[in-house]
Structure 1
């Protein structure tokens, strides 16, 4: 548990911008698998039905005092569509994304910076995993902390 406390204090130091690549002595590696759970959400479908509406028409003829306006109405049909709920559907919800992490000692040659965790790509994780304990490694982190 003491490593967790040290990691938290050095994470505060990592808040400022870091250079693109990080070098240090390999301490340990950690793979956090993706966690998922089943979730449910409303299932919606589009339902359409025929509907009618009354449309008013006007027509004018003539000019001045001889102008006549004729008005009539017709009924037009159209499709009325709306989304309605039709039960529920299940889906896979991601609780935690998959992460690969590497812990370094002597980050940037500073012996005071020990047990600093970095999130890395899968390729960088694989390289660090096969490297010997306390071997010098260099990578570009994708995030800090783990």
Structure 2
């Protein structure tokens, strides 16, 4: 019983210690470069720079819409080994015994039965043709003045289909904000 109480006490101390070190009350204010304390001590953390770069990293970009481009999927015919499933049946003889009685009156009865089974494995059986994707479908948007920097023009970003269609509906040289999938196109 003492061991159980000691274990519970140590666990409670560890939980309290980890809770104090966690600092889970800070969140990042996207409108500024500061963290805002939303929890524990009534706002004493407001106005301090946020030290955690993981929470301040914002992957969205903005700029003026320049061009849009849709690149269709590119495929080719290719061949690969054709794998088929080959099964073989197996049988094995199993010995069964039962005993009754004890001492000199002990009798043992033995009989045999056959168990059937199947083992399967994949084996190569010629080749087959299939459609291989050489380049996946891409939707791209080109921006000028990326991030408000007048010198960063003609930067291509790969975007989702939804963002692409939003950019198509937007007039040229209008501001666009989006999160790109990748750079270049």
What is the TM-score normalised by the length of structure 2? 0.56
CA deviation map 1:29-51 (0-9, x unaligned): 33222111222223233334443
Map 1:79-118 onto structure 2 (within 5 A).
79-118=118-157
Match for residue 36 of structure 1 among 75, 83, 89: 75
Is the contact made by 1:56 and 1:72 (CA closer than 8 Å) also made in structure 2?
Answer: yes
Q: Distance in 1 between matches of 2:94 and 2:79?
A: 44
More strand per residue: 1
Aligned length: 129
Shift of 1:106: 0.8
Equivalent position SS for 1:81: strand
Is the contact made by 2:65 and 2:176 (CA closer than 8 Å) also made in structure 1?
Answer: no
Counterpart in 2 of 1:18?
58
Name structure 1 gaps, 5 residues minimum: 1-15
Map 1:60-79 onto structure 2 (within 5 A).
60-79=99-118
What is the TM-score normalised by the length of structure 1? 0.68
Higher RCO by CA contacts (8 Å cutoff, separation 6 or greater)? 1
Q: Flag the 1:128–1:80 CA change in 2: closer, same or farther, 3 A.
A: closer
- Structure 1 residue 51 and structure 2 residue 87: aligned? no
Shift of 1:72: 3.2
Is the contact made by 1:118 and 1:141 (CA closer than 8 Å) also made in structure 2?
Answer: no
Q: Distance in 2 between matches of 1:32 and 1:105?
A: 21
Name structure 2 gaps, 5 residues minimum: 1-55
Q: Distance in 1 between matches of 2:58 and 2:112?
A: 74
Q: Distance in 1 between matches of 2:119 and 2:63?
A: 66
Is the contact made by 1:54 and 1:74 (CA closer than 8 Å) also made in structure 2?
Answer: yes
Q: Distance in 1 between matches of 2:64 and 2:112?
A: 86
Is the contact made by 2:90 and 2:117 (CA closer than 8 Å) also made in structure 1?
Answer: yes
Counterpart in 1 of 2:52?
none
